[in-house]
Amino acid sequence: MNPIVSSTSAATSTALPSISSRDEQKIRAAKAAVESMTVRQDKASEERKAIAKKKAEELKARIQMLKMSMPANPEAAGKIIAQLARELGAIVKSYGGTGSDAGLTSAATPAAGGEATASEAAPTVTASEGVSDGAGTPVDTEANPDAASGATPQDPYRAAMAAQAASSAEQVRKSESAREDSEFATTVKQLLAELKAMKAKAEADAKAAGDPNTPGVADADKALDAVDAALGEAGLSGSMVSLVV
């Protein structure tokens, strides 16, 4: 064998050390930690959206009642419409995670928007102890090597099948999430259309009474514009929905 080639091969072998079984376990555990955190964040997001949808339905019922008993005084009507619009805007922001969840979250939702911290979600790995679960219980990765990767199969065929199944499940989840977002946007835009119609009536009544510069109506106009802005920030303004009142 050519001594130069042999020397080069030896140098390459020295420069690229192989990954040990322990290192592979650490890599798999780190991947599992990221996946665990993602699951927790998705769960918190789903809970936040569910609360926002419930609030939207409650607001819808209140608006229907107020449509039958709205004050004839344009100033009073404008103040009520402005308050309802502010509540609707807060619901949209909560749903999209773009604003404060004050008053819209449940006690079960973690702090800081429901996002889990790394210490809560991630399995821990140390050189001496190997892999442990979130509760600190050691996992015997020698006896169960798949435990280090969140039970991901090591066999290439099984791993490919598991990856395909996970991808299909993720696509279904995304499709369902998009459908729910569209339904929520439809509800919000219908409520927004109704509030705008109520504001237009109050504005017309104010002009008929010779007082076109009613502060309450002006506040309602600003609050309604803020709802439109919140829809855009939440990525919901482009939904194809009907605005028929």
Query: Distance of alpha carbon 57 from its chain centroid, rounded?
Result: 19
Q: Which residues pair with 132 in a beta bridge?
A: 124, 138
Query: Whole-angstrom Cα distance, residue 220 to residue 76?
Result: 11
Query: Whole-angstrom Cα distance, residue 217 to residue 223?
Result: 10
Query: Whole-angstrom Cα distance, residue 88 to residue 82?
Result: 10
For the chain, what's the residue count?
245
- pLDDT for the residue numbered 39: 73
Which tokens go with 38? 């993602």
Reported as a single tens digit per residue, the pLDDT across 23-53 is 777 777 777 777 777 677 778 889 999 999 9
Query: Distance of alpha carbon 60 from its chain centroid, rounded?
Result: 23
Query: Whole-angstrom Cα distance, residue 188 to residue 195?
Result: 10
- CA distances, 41 to each of 34, 35, 48, 136 (Å): 11, 10, 10, 21
Q: Which residues pair with 130 in a beta bridge?
A: 126
Cβ atoms of 230 and 89 closer than 8 Å: yes
- pLDDT for the residue numbered 169: 80
Coil vs helix vs strand at 6 = helix
- pLDDT for the residue numbered 99: 66
Query: Whole-angstrom Cα distance, residue 112 to residue 186?
Result: 28
- Residue 12: other Cβ atoms inside 10 A: 9
Coil vs helix vs strand at 26 = helix
DSSP 8-state assignment for residue 148: G
Which tokens go with 207? 């002009």
- Specify the residue for token string 């619009």: 85
- pLDDT for the residue numbered 162: 81
Report, as ranges of residue numbers, the positions in the chain whose pLDDT lies below 50. 4-5, 7-14, 16, 101-137, 139-150, 240-245
Kind of pairing, strands 138-139 and 124-126? unpaired
